[in-house]
Amino acid sequence: MKRLILLWLAVYALNLWPARADEGMWLPFLIDEALYEEMSRMGLNLTPEQIFSFDDASIKDAIVSFGGFCTGEMISDQGLVLTNHHCGYGRIQAHSSVDNDLLTNGFWAMTREEELPSEGLFVRFLVNVEDVTREVTAALSDEMGEEERRIAIREISQELVAAATGDTHYTANVSAMFAGNYFYLFTYETFNDVRLVGAPPNDIGAFGGDTDNWEWPRHTGDFALFRVYTAPDGSPAEYHEDNVPLRPRHFLPISARGVREDDFAMILGYAGRTERYLTSFGIDYRLEHMYPVRIDIRRRKLDIIEEAMAQSDELRIKYATKHSGISNYWKNFIGMSESLQRLRVADDKRALEGEFDQWVRSDPQRQEVYGSVIDDFRRVYEGMRRFNSQTYVFIESMATGPDVIRVANAFNTLKTLLEEEGDTDDVVQESERLQGIVERFYRNYDKDVDQALWAAMFEAYLDYVPQEGLPDIFEEVASRYGNDLAAWADEVYSASIFAEASRLEAFLEAPDHATLANDPVFLATQSVYGKHREISDAMGEYNTLLQRTDRFFQRGLMEMLPDRPFYPDANGTMRFTYGSVGGYHPMDAVYYDYHTTLTGVMEKEDPDHHEFVVPEKLKSLYESRDFGDYATDGVMVVNFITNNDITGGNSGSPVINGDGHLIGVAFDANWEGMSGDILFEHEMQRCINVDARYMLFIIERFAGASHLIEEMDIVY
């Protein structure tokens, strides 16, 4: 396998040395001399090769993409993986029941046999990266239409992936950077047997809940432990009782020494998505058409779900993961909207765009290449405004609304097969596939809750979408029900095969076209998805133009500002950030310290508020000061903050000191820095982390799982 990063890219990276240590979603295989010297000055005691190497074991080999949505890190030579409690929340919930409530009680496997298989969960290691910009761009030209360009990129990418993976078990993909100006081939090794090992109860792992989410000071033990298993020969394998713990190439020693202000801190993780090159036009559009809609509709969903969860433990457990997913970005959208306005981010972007436009106009050759960029951005967003907020209304109310709509949308292929009286074997095969979907979806489904969501989400459609943009199902709702959405929901859930798992399972035993085609849920689903496709097609020209304009804008910016540090937006690939431990001033005359302690947990305790209940055993340990070896001068630190860059996907990322030891796990950003995905706020943006010592204390003293401590390499 090629292990070459082209020389021109390394030279290019030298010109992108960061002016500020805290900002940057840097590609970790481009640690150049200037960057290394800056980190060494701040406290790094490792070589670049010890951080990231393709030939020798390095820190890179301890970092995993956890399920494709979070980050995790190997912390023992026996396959032990550390990540966030909220990253493992869905798996903890899946193993919970009223009689065995792991969310409330926590879980700790005292033997390997007690570790719980987690169907569908995987971890993925980065094996290799190649710069393939030259190969991809050789097949492209600026004169190409965007569809022609997309096809060309896909074809050359398939060839590159095939050459990289051959007949191995590796997977690979070509990832575009800087809006498609550069391309990299990432190769991965994936392990699918991942088992739950340990998780604190919600009252520790999610202490503070929605109230404290995206806030500092924080007092949350947001961590969980899993273990990766392999076939006996060490190769990836599906779950089997004969599998053995993974022996990773590298795992992180854990520091029990604690952190101090100004200590060096670096993070490696699979950063999800940033949009640091979003224009003022895009910001204005979101403030007007995206954030208000998504905040409102998510709040409507949360009100229904929270009312149901308060009714019984069964519903609380069933809807725990859905509630967590909805509420997390409900609050994020609020914070993002407020921060963008408070910091006047669009004004800063407008100033940059004005500078860009002036730079373009000052040279005829630049005008030929970049002359239409700013006008094209304006045209894109003026065009998108014609569709109001329909895309976001659809996403929130339908695509992530009632469960029955998502299930019904999966039945299109079966409908076609039945309609065409296709081969019986094809119908049977498709029915079996759908049966698996039914089993997964209805595991955490309640008919009454879903019916309430149906009425509320269709009401949201009526509230936000003008008459001419409504799906045709609303004509029937108006004529038959007088827009009484509750009455319509009653009839739909009484008649539909999708309203109950047993009805759908019976249908799949002997599926027929008439039943499916005339089902009220299926008809409504066809209508809303059909209208969404119509709107998407109409918006297609603007989305296509936006892709092209973004690409030219980012290319032009790098030409215009050759000495400015540029880095590609996060896109789910491994990124590296560095900075230091430190507090900040959130407002005039207020200072937030860099760490919180267990004393703060006790101060926040509120037995009457489910987000601030403190377990009795934790209170007992606190009162007796039974902190083991993990306190500093008798003080048990819980969380600390750094000025590292962070975004979604970084949850669970290791915070590593200058010696390569794990000092914490990243899990959140602070409220004052909520604009971070679009504009990094240097003075106040912070990354919130669980202190490694608090995790060790919970594992050993609270859970009594000392056997897990014994397999770790603890540095005192």
**How do 714-715 and 254-255 pair as beta strands?**
parallel
- What is the C-alpha separation between 321 and 509, in angstroms, rounded? 30
**How do 224-230 and 80-83 pair as beta strands?**
antiparallel
Name the active-site residue from 255, 651, 653, 675: 651
Catalytic residue status for 651: yes
Provide φ and ψ at 62, rounded to 5°: -95, -5
Name the active-site residue from 101, 131, 203, 222: 222
Question: In which residue are the tokens 């949350």 written?
Answer: 220
- What is the C-alpha separation between 654 and 670, in angstroms, rounded? 18
Please name the amino acid found at residue 360: V
Residue 687 · residue 662 · CB < 8 Å: no
Please name the amino acid found at residue 398: M
Catalytic residue status for 222: yes
Catalytic residue status for 86: yes
Residue 111 · residue 198 · CB < 8 Å: no
Name the active-site residue from 86, 323, 532, 661: 86
244 burial class (0-12, 13-18, 19+ CB within 10 angstroms)? Answer: middle
- What is the C-alpha separation between 212 and 206, in angstroms, rounded? 9
**Angle ∠(639,668,457) on CA atoms, nearest 5:** 140
- Torsion angle, CA of 283/287/288/292, rounded to 10 degrees? 150
Kindly provide the b/e burial profile for residues 157-184, where b requires at least 16 CB atoms within 10 angstroms of the residue's own CB. Answer: beebbeebbeeeebebebbbbbbbbbbb
Sign of CA dihedral 33, 38, 43, 44: negative
Cα separation values, 413 from 172, 418, 504, Å: 29, 9, 16
Provide φ and ψ at 15, rounded to 5°: -80, -5
Instruction: Tell me the catalytic residues.
Output: 86, 222, 651
